[in-house]
Amino acid sequence: MATQKLRNFVVVAEELNLSRAAPRLFVTQQALSKQLRDLEEAVGVRLLDRSTRRMALTPAGEAFLASVREALAVLDAGVAAARSASPGGTVRLGFLMGGALELTTPILAAFSARCPEVGLELRETGLADPSAGLADGSSDVAIVRLPLALPDLDVLPLFVEPLVVALPPHHRLAGRASLTAEDVVDEPLAVGRTDDAVWRSYWTLDEQRGGRPPGLVRETTTHTEELQLVAAGLACSITVAGARRHTPLAGVRYVPLTGVPGS
């Protein structure tokens, strides 16, 4: 039984609300709901009562929660002990191009200062692999943008950044103070070419489309390519607010996107 599913169960038990738990875990509500169903199937009992307006733990869920918290505490203590007993080595660190934007450098510097005995092997990836090497095992740890199609991933949130819509300079929506998903679902979109369906679905606003397929989608391999398409008036792009600072491009307008969880 994957430890991340157990950690996610603890968060759901704390919130008793999927709409609040999902952003904490950087997953969609649908993905989290499926994880809970899979967990209940593995345990063999119903852990959560969803029959009322307010989600509640069943008696079995209460007992399971207490055991899970104890087990995770023991596991975390064991991992810490093992690491302290075996210092050194090399960590393969993947990072998605633009994953943490300007915070990437201070993150690496802080790690090196805290763990000087550990070597860092860096691997930068483009949009084709938003997991930055985690999916194929070529990275031990990675700085990424969620959500990803890796339900058993152990996640340590660094920050959540709001989304914006990158628009051509003369687009009819470029002068708006803010936009909703409904405003842009029919616009041509530039999005990363990847096999990660969960990641792609998030950036093409599939959840907000209500089952409607996206219109014209132009695939790219880097954020710079996305913004070049935007600047040329060939597409819009859903991106993070930091793109304005990290990848400035003349003419591109950035308008806050409301009603969609940040990344």
Q: Which pLDDT score, from 0 to 100, does residue 63 have? A: 85
Q: Which pLDDT score, from 0 to 100, does residue 81 have? A: 65
Q: Which pLDDT score, from 0 to 100, does residue 52 have? A: 62
Report the C-alpha gap between 31 and 199 in whole angstroms. 12
Structure tokens of 213? Answer: 């397929």
Report the C-alpha gap between 127 and 149 in whole angstroms. 14
Q: Which pLDDT score, from 0 to 100, does residue 87 have? A: 67
Would you list the DSSP string of 38-83?
A: HHHHHHTS--EE-SSSS-EE-HHHHHHHHHHHHHHHHHHHHHHHHH
Q: Which pLDDT score, from 0 to 100, does residue 173 have? A: 93
Strand partners, 257: 179
Q: Which of 43, 35, 42 is nearest to 60 (CA)?
A: 43
The torsion angles phi and psi of 49, rounded to 5 degrees, stand at: -95, 110
Q: Which pLDDT score, from 0 to 100, does residue 70 have? A: 82
Report the C-alpha gap between 32 and 49 in whole angstroms. 15
DSSP state of 118: S
Q: Which pLDDT score, from 0 to 100, does residue 251 have? A: 78
Classify the C-alpha dihedral 19-23-29-35 as positive or negative: negative
Give per-residue burial for 237-260: e unless 16+ CB within 10 Å, then b.
bbbbbbbeebbeeeebbbbebeeb
Chain center to CA of 258: 17
Q: Which pLDDT score, from 0 to 100, does residue 21 have? A: 87
**What are the structural domains of the chain?**
3-84 (1.10.10.10), 86-143 (3.40.190.10), 163-258 (3.40.190.10)
DSSP state of 158: -
Averaged pLDDT, groups of 10, the chain, 263 residues long: 81 88 82 86 85 81 85 73 68 80 76 80 88 89 86 78 90 92 90 90 87 82 88 91 74 90 84
Q: Which pLDDT score, from 0 to 100, does residue 82 have? A: 62
- The structure's pTM equals 0.68
The torsion angles phi and psi of 101, rounded to 5 degrees, stand at: 50, -130
Q: Which pLDDT score, from 0 to 100, does residue 85 have? A: 61
